[in-house]
Structure 1
Amino acid sequence: MAPLQLLVVGATGKQGSAFVRAATAPVSGADPAFRVVALTRSPDSPAAAALRALGDCVTVVGADLNDEKSVRAVFEGAKTDGGVWGVFVALAFPGLGKDAAGEEAQGKLVVDLACEYGVRHLVYSSAERGHESRDEGATLSYLAKVNIERHIKAKAELGWTILRPVFFMENFKGTIGRITFAVLRAGLKKDTKVQLIASDDIGNVACAVMRSPEQYAGQAITVIGDHLTTRDMEASYMRGAKSAIPSIPNILARSLTAMNPGARSVVQMLESVNADLVERGVKTEERVARCKEIYPGMHDFAAWAASQDASAEQAAGWNGVSLWGLLSGKQ
């Protein structure tokens, strides 16, 4: 049987590229079950070249998610190889405190085209934000994700699974990571736990879901690898990396948080989600166990730390955040 064709939206990002690698890897020595159409706005980038290097099972295409015509052309072009069977969507985060109307429009466009072109299953990478009862108060990117989720659920003809990743472990990498950890250490209560996920694991979970879509159809799955206080993070990082987690002094972190509404909103969101989990008696260890059942290679924080190059800087603009934006209070 010919491989099924998957469209990956955001293919050169961390989640998307992990999905592409997983989807095109042979299983038990057999040929890959999937061919991948990797959609990116930068088809000439080094990240796109790395996807092409995976072999003939990957086709990199350029398209602008703000331009319906260019995205439609991708679906049309895939018809020659049997059409798009499945779609994985991981949209770029617009940045702390940034308007997310564009993100919402992009997500809804992909969903509408997936329905129009008869896609069998769509996996959308959204975000964990506590219980759905809190969705009415969502703003900015969280509101965009809530509205995209609702748009998906309204499509009776579309098979779907929603993934809700928690706080990225990659947020602790590089210079911005030093600031991020210090802001959380200074701002969170000592007993507040943060749900954590390695971004590559999201792509791997998504691929595992795509391999067994009937098993996960109609479900929203929290994607989590660990659940720790900041003190636990320090111990886990030391255990994995054999060195202290990089950070800036607390006094600097408090000053930055005081002038930066985006940083304050992150701390407030994590406190709110933690309180919601405690109030509702959510057993996060069960969430972690379920993710490990879906993808056994999930990283806890220590394992992630062990895999990192502590001297490496995070890619510029990672997750829509820049050093200047943080220091200037504009993010």
Structure 2
Amino acid sequence: MASRKILVVGATGKQGGAFVRAATEARKAEGAPKDGFHLIALTRNTSSPAARELAALGDHVSVVSADLNNANSVRKVFEDEKAKPEGGIWGVFMVLAFPGLGVDGSGEEAQGKLVTDLACEFNVQQFLYSSSDRAHDSRDEHATLSHLAKVNIEENIKSKQGLSWTIIRPVYFMEIFEGLVGRVTFSVVRSGLKKDTKLQLVAADDIGRIAYAIMRSPDAYAGQCITIAGDVLTVRGMQDAYGRGAGSAMPAVPSMLASGITAMNKHIRGVVETMEDVHAARVEHGISSEDLIAKSREICPEMHTFESWAKVHSSKAEQTSGWNGVSMKSLLSGSL
């Protein structure tokens, strides 16, 4: 069976890396490359530690360089693969870097549309885009910044005649509660959310597994927008689940510090408000979180709950830089 090439855009990030690892784990478990995939891991810097780790996974992974802000360099990747005897790129898994809290998303939108347009031009057979959860499409008209970029990228994908696509919309990463920044994040959430507000959560590794499963059976998910969730919990529920999994209390900082950070950082206040809005939208539109989780588990039965994730991740070393590049300095200074 000839290899089917999958271009992984954002391969050195959490989701892209998880996709490559999921494919690698499946090859090892099956004892043979039954899927016939060859992964083209796209990165700006092929000599970075993350890129070298991907290259070391095996000969089913090739690491290539391109700058998503340079159309010619991305086009060259498609052209180079098409020129090879085994043929061009069969599939694309696209994850784009979050520009930052409060940052304009026009660059992200341009990158997404560039990759989508090239995929159409070069007759890519399967296109999988990892967007973000927005609770309900009726909220799209109020989208701004990166959320608006994702809405527009999705619309561009859907407009392409002849392109077979699937869009996944992950909810909040469990990883936002890792390390030192995670302590602050949890404390901000604990002090800012209502007691009955529920958060949908997903482990980054599970997004990679779901993306890989979709690529293996693309026809089953073609033309669908799928919310990816592994657990849904109130703040109290998160504390209880973490305690059961880790055997210790969920790490946090004093409530007074969390309240101070929230008061002086409008972007953090915006995150908390969005969490409340998403919960309210699900209630308003009768969207069952349990149904969303069940759909995700149909695709990937081994998805983590917050409890099982905490059991594995609670021993991770403290970090000074957290989710989406947020640092302690940016939290404390009020700038992100």
Alignment of 1:95 onto 2:97: no
Given the superposition, is the C-alpha separation of residues 315 and 76 from structure 1 closer, same or farther in structure 2, using an over 3 Å criterion? farther
- The CA deviation at 1:149 is 0.4
**What TM-score results when the alignment is normalised by the length of structure 1?**
0.97
* Structure 2 counterparts to residues 291-302 of structure 1, below 5 A: 291-302=296-307
- Give the one of 26, 40, 43 matched to 2:46: 43
Cα 1:156–1:314 shift into 2, 3 Å = farther
Using the alignment, how far apart are the partners of 2:285 and 2:64 within structure 1? 44
Look up the equivalent residue of 2:21 and give its one-letter code. R
User: Is the contact between residue 9 and residue 88 of structure 1 (CA under 8 Å) also seen in structure 2?
Assistant: yes
Q: Is 1:96–1:320's contact at 8 Å kept on the other side of the alignment? A: no
Answering whether residue 4 of structure 2 is matched by residue 4 of structure 1, we say yes
Q: Which amino acid aligns with 2:17?
A: S
Aligned to 1:115: 120
Aligned to 1:319: 324
The alpha-carbon deviation at position 314 of structure 1 amounts to 4.1
Structure 1 letter corresponding to 2:57: L
SS at match of 2:268: helix
Q: 1:311, CA displacement in angstroms?
A: 4.5
Matched, 1:140 2:140: no
Q: Supply the distance in 1 between the matched residues of 2:293 and 2:102 (Cα, whole angstroms).
A: 29
Query: Does structure 2 retain, via aligned residues, the 8 Å contact 1:3–1:32?
Result: no
- The CA deviation at 1:69 is 0.7
Question: Are the counterparts in 2 of residues 92 and 320 from structure 1 also a CA contact under 8 Å?
Answer: no
CA contact (8 A) 1:89 1:125 kept: yes
More displaced, 108-117 or 320-329? 320-329
Number of equivalences: 331
SS in 1 for 2:252: coil
- In structure 1, C-alpha distance between the alignment counterparts of 2:188 and 2:110, rounded to whole Å: 32
CA deviation profile, 1:94-118 (whole Å, cap 9, x unmatched): 1111111111111111101100110
In structure 1, the partner of 2:64 is: 61
Name 1:28's counterpart in structure 2. 30
Where does 1:111-190 land on structure 2 (aligned, <5 Å)? Answer: 111-190=116-195
Aligned to 1:282, the other structure's residue is in SS state: coil
Cα distance in 2 for residues equivalent to 1:46 and 1:75: 24
Cα displacement (A) at 1:310? 3.2
Alignment match, 1:224:
229
- Distance change >3 Å, CA 284–CA 317, structure 1 → 2: closer
Q: Aligned partner of 1:233: which letter?
A: M
| Among 65, 76, 81, the residue aligned to 1:78 | 81
8 Å CA contact 1:168–1:197 kept in 2: the answer is yes
Q: Which amino acid aligns with 1:150?
A: E
What secondary structure, in the 3-state scheme, does the structure 1 residue paired with 2:7 have?
strand
Distance 1:310 1:28 in 2: 30
Q: Measure, in 2, the Cα distance between the counterparts of 1:38 and 1:317.
A: 23
Partner Cα distance (1:232, 1:31) in 2:
41
Whether contact under 8 Å (2:46, 2:64) holds in the other structure is yes
Question: Would the alpha carbon gap of residues 78 and 203 (structure 1) be closer, same or farther in structure 2, given more than 3 Å must change?
Answer: same
Give how far 1:259 is off.
Answer: 0.6
Matched-pair contact (CA < 8 Å) for 2:181–2:321:
no
What SS class does the counterpart of residue 184 from structure 2 fall into?
A: helix
Q: Give the residue type in structure 1 aligned to 2:2.
A: A
Q: Report the Cα distance in structure 1 between the residues aligned to 2:163 and 2:304, rounded to whole angstroms.
A: 31
Post-superposition CA distance 1:116-141 (Å, at most 9, x none):
11001111000001110110100111
Q: Is the 8 A contact 1:201 1:298 kept in 2?
A: yes
Please report how far the alpha carbon of residue 323 of structure 1 lies from its aligned counterpart in structure 2 after TM superposition: 1.9
Identity rate of aligned residues, in percent?
Answer: 60
**Counterpart amino acid of 1:328?**
S
Unmatched tracts of structure 1, length 5 or more: none
Contact 2:113 2:153 in 1 (8 A): yes
1:174-228, CA deviations, whole angstroms, 9 ceiling, x for partnerless residues?
Answer: 1110111000000000000000010111111111011111100000000000000
RMSD: 1.3
Q: Is the 8 A contact 2:180 2:320 kept in 1?
A: no
Task: Give me the whole-angstrom Cα distance separating, in 1, the residues matched to 2:161 and 2:45.
Answer: 33
